[in-house]
Amino acid sequence: MPDKWVYSFGGDLTEGRADMRELLGGKGANLAEMSSIGLPVPAGFTITTEVCTHYYGNENTYPDSLKKEVLEAIKLLEKEMGAGFGDIENPLLVSVRSGARVSMPGMMDTVLNLGLNDETVEGLAKKSGDARFAWDSYRRFIMMYGDVVLGVAHHDFEDILDSHKRDEDITKDTDVTAEGWKGVVAEFKELVERELGAPFPDAPEEQLWGAIGAVFGSWMVPRAMTYRTIHDIPHDWGTAVNVQAMVFGNMGEDCATGVAFTRDPANGENYFYGEYLVNAQGEDVVAGIRTPQSLTIQGKEKEGSRLPAMEEIMPEVFCQLNDVRHKLEKHYQDMQDIEFTVQQGKLYMLQTRSGKRTTAAALKIAVDMVDEGLITQEEALLRVDPQALDQLLHPTLDPMAHKNVLTKGLPASPGAACGAVYFSADDAETKAGEGIKVILCRRETSPEDIHGMHAAEGILTSRGGMTSHAAVVARGMGRPCVAGAGSIQMDYEEKKMIIGEAEIKEGDIVTIDGTTGEAMLGEVPTIQPQLSDDFNTIMGWADEHRRMTVRANAETPLDAETAKKFGAAGIGLCRTEHMFFDPKRIQNVREMIFSTNAQYRRDALDKLLPAQREDFIALFKIMEGLPITIRLLDPPLHEFLPHSEEDIQNFADTAGFETEKVRRRLGELHEINPMLGHRGCRLGVTYPEIYEMQARAIIEAAIEVQGAIPEIMIPLVATRKELALMKTLVEDTAKEVFTEKNATVEYTIGTMIELPRAALTADDIAEEAAFFSFGTNDLTQTALGLSRDDSANFMPDYIREGIFAKDPFATLDREGVGQLVQMAADKGRSARPDIKLGICGEHGGDPSSIEFCEDVGLDYVSCSPYRVPIARLAAAQASIKSGRRLGKSQTQPERRAA
Amino acid sequence: MPDKWVYSFGGDLTEGRADMRELLGGKGANLAEMSSIGLPVPAGFTITTEVCTHYYGNENTYPDSLKKEVLEAIKLLEKEMGAGFGDIENPLLVSVRSGARVSMPGMMDTVLNLGLNDETVEGLAKKSGDARFAWDSYRRFIMMYGDVVLGVAHHDFEDILDSHKRDEDITKDTDVTAEGWKGVVAEFKELVERELGAPFPDAPEEQLWGAIGAVFGSWMVPRAMTYRTIHDIPHDWGTAVNVQAMVFGNMGEDCATGVAFTRDPANGENYFYGEYLVNAQGEDVVAGIRTPQSLTIQGKEKEGSRLPAMEEIMPEVFCQLNDVRHKLEKHYQDMQDIEFTVQQGKLYMLQTRSGKRTTAAALKIAVDMVDEGLITQEEALLRVDPQALDQLLHPTLDPMAHKNVLTKGLPASPGAACGAVYFSADDAETKAGEGIKVILCRRETSPEDIHGMHAAEGILTSRGGMTSHAAVVARGMGRPCVAGAGSIQMDYEEKKMIIGEAEIKEGDIVTIDGTTGEAMLGEVPTIQPQLSDDFNTIMGWADEHRRMTVRANAETPLDAETAKKFGAAGIGLCRTEHMFFDPKRIQNVREMIFSTNAQYRRDALDKLLPAQREDFIALFKIMEGLPITIRLLDPPLHEFLPHSEEDIQNFADTAGFETEKVRRRLGELHEINPMLGHRGCRLGVTYPEIYEMQARAIIEAAIEVQGAIPEIMIPLVATRKELALMKTLVEDTAKEVFTEKNATVEYTIGTMIELPRAALTADDIAEEAAFFSFGTNDLTQTALGLSRDDSANFMPDYIREGIFAKDPFATLDREGVGQLVQMAADKGRSARPDIKLGICGEHGGDPSSIEFCEDVGLDYVSCSPYRVPIARLAAAQASIKSGRRLGKSQTQPERRAA
């Protein structure tokens, strides 16, 4: 049990600090911090988040000593302010606000002007010399308190106010006189008494406890809970309550209120960006009834405004505020979002917090602050959210545009795209060929749809998760994708989709946002990406600070070019099967599958060899001097066969088979759980000629291209013996080629660790492997017994129930899958100290998972090309954090000194 | 490199021992052992298995020092036998025989009478006083050597012999004279010279090295390799070569040769069971040209033979042989299979080895030997192969019957069955109702086929592995099953199946042998099982010696009765979903699945509750006082839906739905990898009302039946949170029932460990679990990424390549899956020392896997009812072995003393 529940701030006694955010909430901690660095903060106190936890843990009761501590804090506050709570002559008025660890804007309740009653309102009138102001404040208090604390509907108060204005024949609140407000107040109090059967509480202390209870109560209202669920905020964090002396920006023309950012949050420019209003309360700035004015002359000119800047009409206060701005930035070493009030010429700071900013601004501010000597490169790197870089790499929706959101699916591949919907890959390709922008809509995609996905601007599916085929392939291609939008009914027959009431037909225009998962009707304007110098500066610093290298998963020349452009240090996963789906080759692949013996299979494979060799030549040329990890054939053979009646007929006709024969083979190859079926090296074991052809293509290509660095990867290994067999096969093939060509080339052979058994026996397997690449997609599927294609049905329930904090296919499950990775890394190194370790699952592009990879000490991460910059930054952050944990103030000082 | 390659035996110098089987092979080790206990063994020497390994590891060459060692051994042998290799007067003749660690009868080559040539044959004639014998021996040698070593076809020799006999106008070999054989020998040698372009080797030493090379060479011939693959013998064991002085049972009327078992191998009776022939060679006894005679008068009478027993006509030698019999049994403490030759009145022992026996005999011999004080109970228990008990529990094919084998599949559920084939569960049930014995033939079975499987005598499938649905369910029911017979084409439309040329139509009779995997045309007579007193004695001893308890997997009253009859100490796995497939309930289950909200689901479940409660009441009554582990619903819901067009139509009609609605729901529930899909506790999380109903049914039933011990098991748990949620749900339901009924009952809640993640986080999960039951079927599927339903396609290749020593679904993969089990057991106990640990996968009935469970220290194993006796014995063997490893001579001495 804590021995202290209440912390004072703002006067002679300031008990909190900025780093006490968990205890005091963000607002309370920062008020204390500002106060202790000498900024003008109205005095007050914070009731800690622990009281909230206690409240919910003890049937909505407070700790015993709370009352005493609050009373003492009020005594202190009265002394500080030279005013008394309930004092008729000189009343102390306070605000009561929530303040959680992280900001939850608008989610919880606030009460202002607390302490007013029929007697103190007269004291306020006298003190301010403005009776109208006093009665206006009083009626605002009753409205707020009545609504928030007492539960009287807000619109009932509004009705009274409206009828009063009608009676007086006026339209604006500002036209209501002091007497008018007095009448309104009386009616408000009657309303409350009628509704509750008890009078409005007069005693300030009773008012205070009511407000405190309301704030704590608002922590658990549905909208707050929903907000927290969406933003991954634990429900047990609780909120603090801040009680603070009121200051008024609306006491006259020497009063003002405003909000500001210490730099421009849109582009990061180092100028004082803010708005204010004279003789107004904070809510007026936000409400948009009056047009806010710019703080600075520079701002005024930028916006082409005629209204005077604060710099002009309140130069002294502005100067003071500008000092505060610099002081805060220097103190917090970050751009701040501040709120202030000027009461009768005196500046009061009401809030400061780290300012939200666009990614472009984040980059500029980070780079500038390093230049200004405010922060180190390391701190600059930690300031930028790697995920947010996606915004810079893909088109984004214009935030100002109107959106008619049809449904929401998973944000499967970032970026926004707009086009006409088509429901088959062939249609998508045809229409794209005619110059039409296309959104390909499918229940789910399969490798047969690749050409349509390539042709489309974006992909929308009604099934599948974050690592479904559509999602993975779209990310690889850099195409926006919304996946698993379960409320869509795709109707291929009628070429339409139904979403609730809406029916979207072939050719209709939709926009998808793969960053949010939204699908919208019609065209929503998008903004094209641009890479700034700041981006390049940050990336350069990231490269200096990271230990792990970053590779890309790529198999087409286009992917490889993109990967290289984004700074990939090689290809970590080249999926050879994607090359088999090429329409020109699929016929040969199918012939191979229909071969009844090894010789016929070999004949069919011989026809594929030249094309496969050309694939590798192209990649080796692009990635010259950089390693390429090439995975031999992985998917089960049935994935290459036709499935629809039409395709079966076509294939049978072309191949000269009976359709019955095709259907029989389909039946033979059908698998109940293809994920756990006849795939990976199991194909190599049963049909060695397939891997032989691939090994030959790789080695022949490598001989042809100067600087080729092939790393041949055997997939789905569960036992050492499998790898040993496949290794011998590859080595024998390589020897043959060397003899034929009278040339040699360096190459290595390794394996994916994607089955729990492989991780468990990694010491044994490492005896045969020059490298391990962690295939954490499949490792997650097997370790958790969870099909990524089928989990969308229940994953939302699992997240909601807190069973998984995050989708384990997006962020690596450290506790389970992570144990296997750690174990395999340790065992692998124990058997072969120089083994190269990397990750090539989707997690390779996820910052949290990358941090894990750093902790395990992997050598590289590999991700889809468009995530390479994200991974580079995330790897640098992971290095820095890991170095700090180890007590190094700077990572790699030797390199930076050089 | 070993320093010794050759070991002598049989004379003054015997260098080997019985426990050197790995080095000397079984035959060589036992010849040495017999020699060293003073039995008359013709002298000789053994070339070790390490020479074989060296030979294949070094491009078919021998170790350098081998030649010298062999020559020395021959010198010694010449001295022992007082004869000389190539000595014209007194030639030494030897046999050259293979001898692997385990017997591979008839698989490898043998050469007899080696050392004969045109000169030594005269010496043999003189020495034996029988020229015909000498020349007959010589021609036999040339035939054997020519065939085995020189590769001249056996039938070419036969042709010469036949033409000779035609010329002489005789029909039997025995009528050929000495001169005749001389002529044949000349022609044989000509044949060899013609074929090889070189004369038949005359020099005994050259002959010897030729024969040694041939024996080593025969280790790798295809038939030997196939034999080893079938019998799980590693190819790298190699064979030894035994070179031994020849003794002759065909040198006259004072000569004989024979084979014997020290007890009756068919029933275990303690009498001297054997056959002999006067004046004959070993091959004559086996060849069946002359009728062998019984050794004993008792045997002669038993067989109603008129031919004299050895006991009668060679009483002294018999007496000596009978002494040898007792000496061998006492020495080896086991029933022996022996070979002997009497040469001119002198007895020679040529071989002894542990005798093969029927399971009934094994039981009787083990029990008798304990009574006789020869062995301890522990040794008796170790002598019986637990797997072989299956023979006693199921009908077996009459071994004498003719079999027309159509094809071979997997031996999925033991026992033989015969009946008319039907291709649907409904037809099978209908026909069985008419009193027809039915074999249900399906591509694969699903839970919808259960009634047909129950009605059938046996099940034959063309797909699926050892743990496919058909296999698991058939074992549970005790129905013979041949699964995954891939060469069968099932044609449901035409109601027939095609196997190669054969077409089997509905109603045709077939016989299946689930112990061997064979399917046969027509009826093959079977033998019904009988349980002897010996069986019960052994089982009683097993129960005294085992540490683990044995439970059964059972869900029907019939299964539970069977389990109890076979001595199960409870039910380790009661699969509640099997109760859902009952035709009377499936409609309600389907209504539940089609419910659009929790309330409708609850309504449908309410209709299922009474039936489910009755299920549990029945089981609790049968198993009174014994625990029942009840697993809540596990399979994905789509398993309960209709799939064929006809079933869909029927269901839609009955339920009053549009068929379109049914199809849509089928589409929604379709899963790409159902094994990794929406099943197990994932159902409980998303549809809590299902588990609530089941928990209620269990608790209500337990209150009703005195002595009920329910253990409620949550399946497919991957995280602690899942278990915690489901535990709360069950506990809340139990509390409700307790209040309603005003009664309570003890129950526990635990989980299956069947996912790698559960094993990895077992310490965490154990905080919520009173017990773990290892579901090693699914754990194998996930740890190895191997679908048991799809692995049949490549598993044969995997076994052949030695990737898996055994099918990992039949015998637990200790290296991989075993690590997870060990880890989970350790972590589970670390968090909860009294946690109860068991196994309920198919491995629970596999002796090798049971041994592993003992090593890990599990509390119990659970298996299908018909395997309970096997598991009881295997558990006892595991306890004994484990005790011995720990240096205890007897397990549980305190109990046995009491």
**Count of CA atoms in the C-beta half-sphere (13 A) of A176:** 25
What's the pLDDT at B690? 96
CB-CB neighbors (< 8 A) of A686 in chain B: 793-794, 797
pLDDT tops 90 at residue B870 = yes
**Please, which pLDDT band fits residue A682 given cuts at 50, 70 and 90?**
very high
Q: A797 contacts in B (CB within 8 Å)? A: 685-686
Compute the CA torsion angle A785, A789, A793, A794 (nearest 10 deg).
30
CA contacts within 13 A on the Cβ side of B677: 22
Residues of A in contact with B674 (CB under 8 A): 672-673, 787, 790
Partner-chain contact B778 A785, CB within 8 Å? yes
- Helix, strand or coil for residue A518? strand
Q: What is the mean pLDDT of chain A?
A: 91
A469 is catalytic: yes
Q: Is the minimum CB–CB distance between A468 and chain B shorter than 8 Å?
A: no
Chain A CB within 8 Å of residue B675 CB? yes
Q: How confident is the model at residue A895 (pLDDT cuts 50, 70, 90)?
A: very low
Q: For chain B, positions 722-781, list CB contacts with chain A under 8 A.
A: 722, 725, 754-757, 760-761, 764, 778, 781
**pLDDT tens for each residue of B713-770:** 999 999 999 999 999 999 999 999 999 999 999 999 999 999 999 999 999 999 999 9
Which structure tokens are listed for B170?
């005789």
Residue A814 Cα, gap to closest chain B Cα (Å): 11
Sequence length of chain B is 898
Which of A288, A294, A322, A318 has the alpha carbon at shortest distance from A306? A294
B719–A contact, CB cutoff 8 A: yes
Contact B676 A673 (CB under 8 A): yes
Tell me if B801 and A755 make a contact (CB, 8 A cut-off): no
> Residue A870 pLDDT > 90, yes or no?
yes
| Contact call for A678 and B781, based on CB within 8 A | no
Most confident range, picked from A626-640, B450-464, B584-598: A626-640
**Pairing status of strand A526-527 against strand B571-575:** unpaired
CB within 8 Å: B760 and A783: yes
User: Both tokens of residue B486?
Assistant: 């891939």
User: Which whole-number Å values give the CA distances from B572 to A180, A358, B840, B863, in the listed order?
Assistant: 81, 59, 6, 8
Cβ-Cβ contacts under 8 Å, B791 against chain A: 677-678
- Using CA atoms, how far apart are residues B218 and B147, in angstroms rounded to an integer? 12
Q: How confident is the model at residue B579 (pLDDT cuts 50, 70, 90)?
A: confident
Across the interface, which of B721, B754, B755 has its CB nearest the CB of A802? B721
pLDDT at A848: 95
A41-62: burial string, b at 16+ Cβ within 10 Å, e else: bbbbbbbbbbbbbbbbeeeeeb
- Residues of chain A with C-beta less than 8 angstroms from the C-beta of B721: 801-803
Q: What angle do CA B809, B813, B815 make, to 5 degrees?
A: 165
Is A801 within 8 Å of B685 when comparing Cβ atoms?
yes
Cα–Cα distance for residue pair A239/A222, rounded to 1 Å: 15
- What region does B211 belong to: left with phi over 0, alpha with psi -120 to 50, or beta? alpha
Rounded Cα distance between A145 and A201, Å, is: 10
Whole-angstrom distance, CA of residue B461 vs CA of residue B484:
5
Interface test with B, best of A490, A673, A675, A789 (most B CBs within 10 A): A673
| pLDDT at A286 (0 to 100) | 62
A33 touches chain B (CB under 8 A): no
pLDDT of residue A729: 97
Q: For position A875, what pLDDT does the model report?
A: 98
Question: How distant, in Å, are the alpha carbons of A297, A494, B220, B224 from that of B216?
Answer: 101, 72, 8, 11
Subunit contact A685:B785, Cβ cutoff 8 A = no
Interface probe with A: pick from B672, B725, B765, most Cβ of A within 10 Å: B672
| Cβ–Cβ contact B820 with A under 8 A | yes
Would you list the DSSP string of A806-866? Answer: S-TTTS--IIIIIHHHHHHHHHHHHH-TT-EEEE-SGGGG-HHHHHHHHHHT-SEEEE-GG
Q: B717, B716, B722, B445: which is closest to B578 by C-alpha?
A: B445
Note whether A673 contacts B674, CB cutoff 8 Å: yes
How close is the nearest chain B Cα to the Cα of A108, in Å?
30
Of residues B52, B418, B441, B469, which has the active-site annotation? B469
Asked if B136 has any chain A CB less than 8 Å from its own CB, the reply is: no
Q: What is the mean pLDDT of residues B69-93?
A: 94
CA distance A462 to chain B (A): 11
State the Cα–Cα distance between residues A550 and A567, nearest whole angstrom: 8
Whether residue B96 has pLDDT greater than 70: yes
Q: Is B813 on the interface with A (CB under 8 A)?
A: yes
pLDDT tens for each residue of B419-476: 999 999 989 989 988 889 999 999 988 877 888 898 899 999 998 777 678 887 887 7
Residue A794 and residue A796: Cα distance in Å, rounded?
6
Size of interface A-B (CB pairs under 8 A): 174
Beta strands at A438-442 and A416-422: parallel, antiparallel or unpaired? parallel
Interchain pair B794, A755: CB under 8 A: no
Q: Is A569 exposed, middle or buried (0-12, 13-18, 19+ CB in 10 A)?
A: buried
Helix then strand then coil, in percent of chain A rounded to 5, is 50, 15, 35
Nearest to A449 by CA among A611, A581, A646, A631: A581
3-state secondary structure B798-846: HHHCCCCCCCCCCCCCHHHHHHHHHHHHHHHHHHCCCCEEEECCHHHHC
Give the closest-approach CA distance of B48 to chain A in angstroms: 28
Alpha-carbon distance of B702 to B710, in angstroms, equals 7
Q: Which of A725, A756, A803 sits opposite B722 (nearest CB)?
A: A803
CA B11, B17, B21, B24 torsion-angle sign = negative
Q: What ipTM is given for this predicted complex?
A: 0.81
CB-closest option in B673, B718, B722 to A790:
B673
**Residue A896: is its pLDDT beyond 70?**
no
Alpha helices in A623-680 (DSSP H): 645-655, 659-669
What span, in angstroms and rounded, lies between the C-alpha atoms of A651 and A668?
17
A201 secondary structure, DSSP code: P
pLDDT digits (tens, 9 = 90+) for A115-171: 999 999 999 999 888 999 999 999 999 999 999 999 998 899 999 999 999 998 988
Question: Is A491 touching B (CB cutoff 8 A)?
Answer: no
CB contact under 8 A, A787 and B815: no
Instruction: Reply yes or no on whether the pLDDT at B815 is more than 80.
Output: yes
Q: Encoding tokens for residue A854?
A: 């750093």
Q: Which residues pair with A261 in a beta bridge?
A: A273, A337
Give A836's strand partners. A771
Model confidence at B359: pLDDT above 70: yes
Task: Let me know: does B686 contact B704? Beta carbons within 8 Å.
Answer: no
Asked if the C-beta of B822 comes within 8 angstroms of chain A's C-beta atoms, the answer is no
β-strand A571-575 against B6-9: which pairing, if any? Answer: unpaired
Q: How far apart are the CA of A801 and the nearest CA of chain B, in angstroms?
A: 9
Give the whole-angstrom CA distance, residue A273 versus residue A294.
8
- Encode pLDDT of B610-666 as tens digits: 999 999 999 999 999 999 999 999 999 999 998 888 888 988 888 888 888 888 888
**Mean per-residue pLDDT, B513-529:** 88
Q: Which of A255, A394, A418, A469 is catalytic?
A: A469
Pick from A782, A783, A794: CB nearest B686: A794
A840 a catalytic residue: yes
Which member of B255, B840, B853, B863 is catalytic? B840
Q: Among B676, B791, B820, select the one facing A760 at the smallest CB separation.
A: B820
| Chain B residue with the nearest C-alpha to that of A778 | B785
Catalytic entry in A840, A843, A853, A863: A840
Q: What is the pLDDT of residues A433-469, one digit of tens each?
A: 888 999 999 998 887 788 889 889 999 999 877 767 8
